Chains A and B, each alone.
Chain A
């Protein structure tokens, strides 16, 4: 963007003024992509009770009509019960047919839990998956200007926590095992999509796509991603406009992947969405760290370090967005 033609950086810079028009444009594009480009007659979407899948389902209902949308809950043994209740409420709100496919047995078959727990136990020897809860998290601040390194945290029944830096081998095994969850969900979504001659609607937002917060051929495996260009705060704006239930809007985004409660901020983003959206926009559109820092009440150096972190995340995750090379 030519700096002369751009708006001064402000906290409102991502606010969508013409929300109705934006929703109409997205639904029209979604309809055209699915019907004409993909030549499918409806949409299958996995819903988790989270904000992104809720907005995608609401957009799909608007694009195709509720009767041409099938929502699928894909819980497993570590999913929270809240997710199911919210997903049911969402489907009811938009009058969309909903199915439940529990993938716990499939994951057991892959050895997902056993492979994950075995790796955790190599780091924290007294980890007992039957009673303890576990999660992986980044414990450095985003502005420390060093690539993110994950730690494993185990929470004992009495609330005592044990946290250790994850060695490479164990980190990779835990992630690889856990990714069976997203990949099993993708397989099940395609089963239903093929059965119905529908398309699979992917739910990642702009941050997930560009920072690589998705599993390749897992939640990144879809036919169309209607909110892949939207910042998280814009997704919330759409949610309110489309009438997504308030409990879903108010819920803190979680990964719903590990046994211990874990926000997406702890796991990956290292900062609140409201700030991340604005600073990412500033970085992507060439606003100086000084200009952004003044608005965000942070030093120029901190914004510079966050810009560096974004660059690193985008570069490191390029592999996830790449098609097979031939």
Chain B
């Protein structure tokens, strides 16, 4: 079974790879929209990544900032859907 650490690492790797950010610039609680790391398309591609990697589908009503604003929040959201 996939562990919380695995989930976090995969999500963190994905965000670092797609935003070309430096590892030290992204903490687990960095606000990724506030910092301009992800925009609309970035969020859309992230949702697609979650579907491909963890087979979770994001619904309309789950598109709230609390589910996506930081790596910690994305990890919690992902775990809640598994």
Which residues of A does B touch, CB under 8 Å? 139-140, 144-149, 151, 163, 165-169, 171, 308, 312, 315-316
- Is A149 a contact of B63 with CB atoms below 8 Å? yes
Structural contact, A145 and B45, CB atoms closer than 8 A: no
Interface presence of B41 (CB below 8 A): yes
Indicate whether B29 reaches chain A with its CB closer than 8 angstroms. no
Given contacts A163-B60, A312-B33, contact A145 B48 (CB under 8 A): no
Interface size on B, residues (CB 8 A): 22
Q: Is the CB of B59 within 8 A of A144?
A: no
* Distance A146 CA – B66 CA, assembled complex (angstroms): 9
CA distance A182 to B63 in the complex (A): 30
Most buried by B among A140, A151, A168, A316: A168
Assess whether A146 is in contact with B58, with CB atoms less than 8 Å apart. Answer: no
A263 CB to nearest chain B CB (Å): 19
Q: For residue B58, which residues in chain A have a CB less than 8 angstroms away from its CB?
A: 165
Instruction: Name the prevailing secondary structure of the A interface residues.
Output: mixed
CA distance A312 to B42 in the complex (A): 12
Partner of B43 from A147, A151, A308 at Cβ < 8 Å: A147
- B38→A144 contact, CB < 8 A: no
Which residues does chain A contribute within 8 Å of B59, judged by CB atoms?
Answer: 165
What is the interface of chain B, defined by CB distance below 8 A to chain A?
33-34, 36, 38-45, 47-48, 51, 58-60, 63-65, 68-69
- Check if B64 sits within 8 Å of A146, measured CB to CB: yes
Given contacts A139-B60, A163-B60, A165-B60, whether A149 and B45 have CB atoms under 8 Å apart is no
Closest 3 CB pairs of A and B: A147-B40, A316-B39, A168-B44
Tell me the complex Cα distance, A171–B44, Å: 9
**Would you mind naming 13 contact pairs between A and B with Cβ atoms under 8 Å apart?**
A139-B60, A140-B63, A145-B65, A146-B64, A147-B39, A147-B42, A149-B44, A165-B60, A166-B44, A167-B48, A168-B44, A308-B33, A312-B36
For B46, give the chain A residue with the smallest CB separation: A168
Evaluate contact between B33 and A147: CB separation under 8 angstroms.
yes
* A144 proximity list for chain B (CB < 8 A): 63-65
